[in-house]
Amino acid sequence: MTDMLTKGGADASVPSTGAGARSHGRAPASRRRSMRAPGFPWILPALVVSSGLVYFCIGYNGWVSLLDWNGISPIQTFVGLDNYVKAFTDPIFWGTLQHTVVYFVVTYVAQTVLGIVLAVLLHSRVRLAGVYKVIIFVPVILAPAIMAPVFRIMFAGDGPVNDFLAAIGLGFLTQPWLAQSSTALGVLMIMQIWNTTGISFILFYAAISQVEHDVIEAARLDGAGSIRIVWSIVVPSVRGTIVALAMLSAIGTLKLFDIPYLVTSGGPNFATEFLGTYIYRQAVPLGDVGYASALSIILLVLALGMAFVLSIRGNEERQAKKGALR
Amino acid sequence: MKFHSKGRTSKRLLAITAAAGTAALALTACGSSGGAQTGSADEGSITWWGWTPDTSVAETYITAFNEEYPDIEVTYRNFENGDYKAALRAGLQSNSGPDVFDIALGGDVADFATFGDFGLDLRPALEEQLGEDWEDAFTFSNDGLTREDGSVAGVSMGGVASGMMWINQTMFDEFGVEVPTSYDEWVAACDTFREAGKDCLAMGAQGGSGFTTETWRSIVNSIEPGLWYSALEGDATWDEPAFQEGLEMLLAMKEDGIVRDDVTGLAQYPDANNAFLSEQAAMVQMGTWYAQYSREQSAIASMEAAGVSNPTPFVQLAVPFPAVGGNSPEIFGELDYGLAVNSRSDSTAAATTFALWLTGTEEGGQVIANAIDLIPGLQGVEPQWDELGLVEPDVQIPAIQDLYAQAAEITETRNTLVTADLAQALDVAAASVLEGTTSPADAIATLVASQG
């Protein structure tokens, strides 16, 4: 875009004058300044708000992370990096990271695969496609506070899921899904996938709409089957969406709070504890705001690092594409 | 982008800095904690926040209050135990917090150590209303709500005791089950209920609200009376054998069907509470506050809240915790909570009027006593038993009177000596054993290590 602007400037149709023309076809500097909109004052209010609210809060959070403080008392004790040392030696903290990685990988892969498959299917000639789109998207608009009690009932020891398994002869699979560490996280992941697959579906549906129909026709004429077309043409075409979804999913998982808090409260035995719920647990019930702030700073660093890595990967792929096109 | 000139650039930078600094100051500004009364003592609109009582009970308090003070509008907001602390923390540090709020001695709901400094000093108002010896007017000592400088942050509403069981006597009669007094009798009773498709003891270990710990405490009290309280006082250590034995018995309760397999996936509130009130479970371990559901009106409201349509109230009774370890475990309790006036309130005068009417007048004390949600906090006040509208007065009145008499003999406190950190450590120990991922021995080791 910058290149286009530069070229547009170089090719400006503004007639040059003898006195002001320092380069081919460009208006004099004074006229260029008067032609530019004074944009800075317009963004100043937003800049002040964002600086005051966002970056100041981050800085203040960083300061609090160096304290032993309950968030209310006038007594604040400076402890330096003790809270960070505590975090790195806290098995529950490492457990939250482990849960985050597992949660991200499983839910992202599932949503991506489901999103692409559903988008491809609904790009075919399907009856009542509009109805299916609505059904797929409805879970997205449901608030976790509504879904949580439903899933708690469904996956209760005497809930409908176990009843269904028993009814179809799979009674040996019935178990207290939310009451044991080995399955509680899985239930949360199911809930997440159900809740957000609609978003990935919508994004992939729109991305697939951009795929050249002629390319697909040509592939069919060459004898490519549907699966081959999806794998070799559709998926590469929506790679940008895949990367974008990865970034959104990663950051969303890092700051996950509502689903584990409402469904399992981080239990049983911290088996579904995430950084978000652990920060809350430390800050509010336990009143260790200093430690909670340190965890928040670590979360921020992880989120920035993840965004950076994914952004680098995306840039590398764009560079590779440009190289291939030249 | 370029500035028009360096001079203007500097001025703009200064403007930005000033604006950002102003915003920052506004964000970090702490409100003043003024101690003077504000507003009128006879009129106004105030809000009251609490995790207890239930909304319906609070409204009876307010209705009675308004008979004497019709121009003071009181709005009660009830929170779940687990949500109250977070809401109160934010509310008290803002200008949109409550005028009156519940405050407890200890524990992890709304402890005095965390929130005591926000309470307006009520000593002058208490002395004006009740005289210099105002403390003698109360059943429970107010020391736990009094600051080091002698200022009074909160006033006792009444007392609470835990360590007993509540049973659905109607269900016990229906299935011909006797109240268990030992572990074996308990298992047998539960077998009968399970065969009838009912749960036995409704319990929820999720969320760490302390109820599972109280079951563990009752077991230990039966094994070695007084040990638990000694540990709270620091005179005994948590690696005494009885604590591990208690966890082993807690695990056995799950294995023997006294509690459900998925107990660690359930919360005491709302799951266990709803299970008992909807008559899915025959028993539940709750404290003296559960007596309120002995009243027909409260029973119907609570059963409806638990999802029962057109409920028929059942007879609930408090019974001793079975002597699972050979001894009849004693109950434990203390001042349950007090009312504090938010020193940042714009209506401290009206708020003080409400708080002291409810806690320090005979009329207010009577309303509290009649709700049988709290052990009466005012000396000389007891429930007007014949006017309570109990489901079955002949059976329930003697039972509640006996319970209150036991509470008057209590020697062990409930939450006064329990910090939030200890409360969580105990809950984690109990829940991890119940979940099956940790052995009782390992849970005790972790508990001891966490307490240094």
Average pLDDT over residues B79-103: 91
Average pLDDT over residues A137-155: 93
Q: Per the structure block, which two tokens stand in for B36? A: 């003077």
pTM, entire model = 0.82
Of B328, B295, B101, nearest in space to B225 by CA: B328
pLDDT of A12 higher than 90:
no
Which of A52, A264, A265 faces B20 most closely, judged by CB atoms? A52
Which CA distances in Å does B279 have to A265, B1, B121, B284, B406? 26, 72, 45, 11, 27
Domains of chain B and CATH, by start: 44-158+334-383 (3.40.190.10), 164-330+393-450 (3.40.190.10)
pLDDT in tens, A161-194: 999 999 999 999 999 999 999 999 999 999 999 9
Strand, helix or coil for residue B282: strand
Assign A228 a pLDDT band (cuts: 50, 70, 90): confident
Contacts across the A-B interface (CB distance below 8 Å): 125
pLDDT of A207 higher than 50:
yes
Cα–Cα distance, B116 to B110 (Å, whole number): 9
Average predicted confidence (pLDDT) for chain A: 85
Give DSSP secondary structure letters for B435-450: HTSS-HHHHHHHHHHH
**Residues in chain A within 8 Å Cβ distance of B17:** none
pLDDT of residue A148: 93
Which CA distances in Å does B292 have to B299, B360, B363? 8, 21, 19
> Which residue from B minimizes the CA distance to A269?
B432
Assign A35 a pLDDT band (cuts: 50, 70, 90): low
pLDDT of residue A25: 55
Predicted interface score ipTM higher than 0.90? no
CB contact under 8 A, B89 and A267: no
CB contact under 8 A, B420 and A52: no
Interface of A with B (CB under 8 A): 33, 36, 38-41, 44, 47-49, 51-53, 56-57, 60, 70-74, 152, 155-157, 176-181, 184, 264-265, 267-270, 280, 284-287
pLDDT of residue A34: 55
Q: Per the structure block, which two tokens stand in for A212? A: 């050249």
**Residues in chain B within 8 Å Cβ distance of A284:** 85-86, 89
Which CA distances in Å does B209 have to A149, A273, B214, B415, B437? 18, 17, 10, 12, 20
Q: Per the structure block, which two tokens stand in for A144? A: 């976790």
Strand, helix or coil for residue B286: coil
Cα–Cα distance, B47 to B102 (Å, whole number): 12
Nearest 5 degrees, angle CA A152-CA A155-CA A157? Answer: 105
pLDDT of residue B375: 93
CB contact under 8 A, A72 and B86: no
Assign A1 a pLDDT band (cuts: 50, 70, 90): very low
CB contact under 8 A, B20 and A56: yes
Residue A81 dihedral angles phi and psi, to the nearest 5°: -95, 15
**Residues in chain B within 8 Å Cβ distance of A179:** 261-266, 435
What is the sign, positive or negative, of the torsion defined by CA atoms of B372, B377, B383, B388? negative
Cα–Cα distance, B94 to B31 (Å, whole number): 7
Cα–Cα distance, B307 to A159 (Å, whole number): 16
> Which residue from B minimizes the CA distance to A184?
B265
pLDDT of B4 higher than 80:
no
Decide if B386 contacts B83 (C-beta within 8 A): no
pLDDT in tens, B245-293: 999 999 999 999 999 999 999 999 889 999 999 999 999 999 999 999 9
pLDDT of B17 higher than 50:
no
- Which of these ranges, A214-223, B5-14, B229-238, has the smallest mean pLDDT? B5-14
Percentage of residues in chain A with pLDDT exceeding 70? 85
DSSP B270: I
Residue numbers of B between 64 and 83 with CB closer than 8 Å to A: 82
* Alpha-helical segments (H) within B292-437: 296-305, 348-360, 362-371, 393-408, 420-435
pLDDT in tens, B139-175: 888 999 999 999 999 999 999 999 999 999 999 999 9
Assign B324 a pLDDT band (cuts: 50, 70, 90): very high
Which of A52, A178, A287 faces B420 most closely, judged by CB atoms? A287
Cα–Cα distance, B404 to B391 (Å, whole number): 19
CB contact under 8 A, A284 and B89: yes
> Which residue from A minimizes the CA distance to B24?
A52
**Residues in chain B within 8 Å Cβ distance of A58:** none
Cα–Cα distance, B65 to B352 (Å, whole number): 13
pLDDT in tens, A271-321: 999 999 999 999 988 889 999 999 999 999 998 888 888 777 767 666 666
CB contact under 8 A, B23 and A180: no
Q: Per the structure block, which two tokens stand in for B375? A: 């052990």
* Alpha-helical segments (H) within B116-182: 123-130, 169-174
Domains of chain A and CATH, by start: 92-325 (1.10.3720.10)
Residue with tokens 């990967």: A313
pLDDT of residue B3: 37
pLDDT of residue A15: 41
* Cross-strand partners of B155: B339
pLDDT of residue B22: 45
B307 lies within 8 A of chain A by CB? no
* Alpha-helical segments (H) within B5-46: 6-28
Pairing of strands A77-78, A67-68: antiparallel
Residue with tokens 């062990």: B412
Contacts of B171 by beta carbon, 8 Å cutoff, 6+ apart = B177, B193, B198, B279, B282, B314
Decide if A77 contacts A68 (C-beta within 8 A): yes
User: Environment class of residue B273 by beta-carbon count within 10 Å: exposed (0-12), middle (13-18) or buried (19+)?
Assistant: buried
B2 lies within 8 A of chain A by CB? yes
Pairing of strands B281-284, B199-202: parallel
CB atoms within 10 A of CB B235: 10
Q: Terminal CA-to-CA distance of chain B, rounded, Å?
A: 59
